[in-house]
Amino acid sequence: MLLKWLTIPFALDIFLLSALLAKSQPRRARTLIPVLVAFEISMLGVGLWFAHTISPFIKAWAPFISPISLIGLGIYLWFEDDDDEISSWTERPVGSFLWIVLGLSVSLDEALVGLAIGFVRIHLISWFILFSLTSFSSALLGFITGSLAHKWSSPKIISRLIPLSLFAVGSLLLIQQMV
């Protein structure tokens, strides 16, 4: 099933943010990364639950909404340039409220990924566990990479892989639904 490939953009997202945090503020990263991981997992759960709940009402369209929403998210993320914004947030000493706002803004794409998966009517618990483990391991790898990368100047490559992978998975899912 092609949906397992959705773990790639999900993992790249939290990896990039964890690496940026670990590079710029290693002490704060130890407490902020778990909070951001919790935001991402909870927003994924909200998207899964919402789509699983409303998919019986849109039976015929649910399999097509999933890939089209992923393609749309990939296109949006490709043209949106938030790398400088996230970098400035990670270097800025901000209060708890602003980190909650950052957590929500970073994890909105996970809500859409959860929505796309939920429309396909798969087993929610197994996917939730898979994405939770992916998120925790990617955050840990991002923290380690960011802590060790002294001369890592630009995360542009990773940030461009996220929309490309969303677009590719969405396109493959759409082709699979049409065949």
How confident is the model at residue 92, as a pLDDT?
56
**pLDDT above 60: residue 88:** no
Average pLDDT, the chain: 75
User: For residues 122 and 2, what is the distance between their CA atoms, to the nearest angstrom?
Assistant: 12
Task: Measure CA of the first residue to CA of the last residue in the chain; give whole Å.
Answer: 14
**Percent residues over pLDDT 70 in the chain:** 77
pLDDT-based confidence at residue 3 (cuts at 50, 70, 90): low
Task: Judge whether 109 and 10 are in contact, CB under 8 Å.
Answer: no
Q: Please name which of 40, 162, 58 lies closest in space to residue 111, comparing C-alpha atoms.
A: 40
Helix (H, G, I), strand (E, B) or coil at 122: coil
The answer, yes or no, to whether residue 108 has pLDDT greater than 60, is yes
